[in-house]
Amino acid sequence: MSSLFDLSGKIALVTGASRGIGKALAVGLAEHGADVVLVARTKEALDRTAVEVEAHGRRTWVKPFDLAHVPQIPEFYRSVVEETGGVDILVNVAGIQRRALALDLTLEDWNEVLELNLSAVFVLCQAFARERIGSGKPGRIINIGSLMCEGHRPTTVAYTASKGGIRQLTKALAVEWARYDIRVNAVAPGYIATEMTQPLRDNPELDDWVRRRAPMGRWGEPRELVGAVVFLASEASSYVTGHILYVDGGWLANL
Ligand SMILES: NC(=O)c1ccc[n+]([C@@H]2O[C@H](COP(=O)([O-])OP(=O)(O)OC[C@H]3O[C@@H](n4cnc5c(N)ncnc54)[C@H](OP(=O)(O)O)[C@@H]3O)[C@@H](O)[C@H]2O)c1
């Protein structure tokens, strides 16, 4: 393995690690040498991810937690630091979708999406950065964006607002924290085959639309995001911060 991409000796915390993209990233980071803290609500599913991570000879800490409880995140993060001694790489993956046209979306659904997809990410980044700065150590943050960092598809208004927020939050934190050697970037996936997108894949019209619109002619797989995240977590990206890296099969390039 090239040392540029080697994460040996590093600890990564991955939210949303119970399935889909977060699970693939947790295993992928372990393949590149990182020990991994696994966060989501469902302990049994996190335990299954832990088995896959440990198969690569890496350590895991299974930390079930509901990130929608935003005010409790700092206390939760303190417990992570106590157990691990400190996290080097924070990967914010947990996210939800609530589908409705803008005229119909309830305030409850709007708040739920914004709380988890944006507020929880901000507060976790803050807890991470405070610990890193306090201990004089560098940090790497990778947020998961979306094509909705750039545009919108009707029925995803809260999600689009949250991912637009992730784009700007990533830039804001990168600018403020570069002086502490905390690099903040985002990986923005195109359409990836996971539980979140199952309703789209179950609808033949939408499934066909995704395949026709993506120049590569197919859905992405969660594992295809690993390379971008390892790049941004490692020395290979030592002069990259505030960047939104699209992994979308050419989607955004396609007019
Ligand atoms: N799939 C795509 O096409 C796509 C495209 C662009 C961006 N993304 C983004 O990628 C991320 C992951 O998406 P995915 O497709 O992998 O979704 P997914 O399969 O639905 O997984 C979502 C993850 O978030 C966790 N989660 C949900 N609510 C949580 C909460 N309140 N507290 C803690 N964890 C919570 C879930 O675990 P528990 O249920 O166990 O808590 C699960 O691990 C999201 O941010 C999504 O916006 C996905």
Write down the mean pLDDT value for the chain: 98
Residue range 139-161: mean pLDDT, rounded: 98
Q: Which domain holds residue 122?
A: 3-253
What residues are in contact with ligand 1 under a 6 Å CB criterion? 15-16, 18-22, 40-42, 45, 66-68, 93-96, 116, 144, 146, 189, 191-192, 194-197
SS3 readout for the chain: CCHHHCCCCCEEEEECCCCHHHHHHHHHHHHCCCEEEEEECCHHHHHHHHHHHHCCCCCEEEEECCCCCHHHHHHHHHHHHHHHCCCCEEEECCCCCCCECCCCCCHHHHHHHHHHHHHHHHHHHHHHHHHHHHHCCCEEEEEECCHHHCCCCCCEHHHHHHHHHHHHHHHHHHHHHHHHCEEEEEEEECCECCCCCHHHHCCHHHHHHHHHHCCCCCCECHHHHHHHHHHHHCHHHCCCCCCEEEECCCHHHCC
The total number of structural domains that make up the chain: 1
* pTM beyond 0.85: yes
Instruction: Write down the pLDDT at residue 2.
Output: 61
> Could you tell me the CATH number of the domain that includes residue 116?
3.40.50.720
Tens digits of residue pLDDT in 59-101: 999 999 999 999 999 999 999 999 999 999 999 999 999 999 9
Nearest CA to ligand 1 atom 11: 93
Tens digits of residue pLDDT in 163-204: 999 999 999 999 999 999 999 999 999 999 999 999 999 999
